[in-house]
Amino acid sequence: MVTDECRCRWAQGNALLADYHDREWGVPEYDDRALWEKLMLDGFQAGLSWLTVLRKRDAFRECFVGFDPERVARFEEADVLRLLDDPRIIRSRAKIEATIGNARAWLDMRERGEPFGALMWEMVGHRPILNEGPVPTQTPLSRDISRMLKQRGFRFVGPTIVYAWMQAVGMVNDHAEHCWRRAPVAAMAGHGELPSRFSS
């Protein structure tokens, strides 16, 4: 049985956070849509706690039609109003409109031959970074990725949000040295299907 003392400090004392930590956080994610979903959820977290978003994640997925960028990109003002009226999610017009705009930016990237996942993983050399120092809130690389995304039309993708997302999707392994998940997650590096922007 895994005890709280064996987990990263942020995941201790709450069953939902512990389950997320033990099953998902830091596991390398290569799927374009899933990567986009997690970035959008991190954007909704801005100014709030991850626990708040985690508790609402199922409702977010329902309201944003499974975070399918092709469908979200077609949302109109009526959809924005519908979402603003739904108490199950974080009702921020700016974040809702950013998510819709980010779906369109995601599609634009694909049309230009820049598949989202392939380009993001290229930024870390197609291999997760194993962090061996203090856990930062942002890094030069997260600032570079943030800048790149903003240039492509994304919003709510500041360097701190991007770094939290990089941790969540396994682009960087920030499990603490004492954490039971650090070694298993590190062992996953390179065992998924690495994306290539040149894939057919």
Binding residues for Zn(2+): 8, 21, 175, 179
Contact 116, 109 (CB under 8 A): yes
Q: What is the 8-class DSSP label of residue 9?
A: G
- Which backbone phi and psi does 126 adopt, to 5 degrees? 60, 25
Which amino acid appears at position 68 of this protein?
D
CB atoms within 10 A of CB 97: 16
Q: What is the 8-class DSSP label of residue 174?
A: -
Which structure tokens are listed for 63?
């309201």
Binding residues: 8, 21, 175, 179
Cα angle at 132 between 173 and 38, to 5 degrees? 20
Separation CA 144–CA 84 (nearest Å)? 32
Which structure tokens are listed for 48?
């709030």
